[in-house]
Structure 1
């Protein structure tokens, strides 16, 4: 059994304080998303920036949940 695989693929119930941290991360990312939306011309690069920002939020929140 690989402990990292077991941890990465199980449900992680929120611990006290985590939902607030998830929200804080999402809010900061949303600020950046609006900046990108306003300042960057519509393009493949803008789409990739938005996609990668979403991934950043996902992985940051996963890091909180898993550790």
Structure 2
């Protein structure tokens, strides 16, 4: 936390607070998860088991989390 007399950074304050779901957001989260799941199955079926495949899956999960954060924070 900032010391007395220092100003709060609104971006930090927004990024590190709880964002309760608002109307319509659950549907958006679900749509993103469903599309990502389809891509995950495609990657799983078409890519050989490898470090690269694992990285692709991890980055897909990361993309979903950031997309959801975008909805929650904005």
TM-score of the pair, normalised by structure 2: 0.90
Q: Deviations over 1:39-59 (max 9, x none)?
A: 000000000000000000000
Unaligned runs of 5+ in 2: 1-7
Unaligned runs of 5+ in 1: none
Q: Which has the larger radius of gyration?
A: 2
Larger RCO of the pair (alpha carbons < 8 Å, separation 6+):
1
TM-score of the pair, normalised by structure 1: 0.99
SS at match of 2:23: coil
> Runs in 1 of length 4+ with deviation above 3 angstroms?
none
Which has a greater percent of helix? 1
Backbone CA RMSD of aligned residues: 0.2
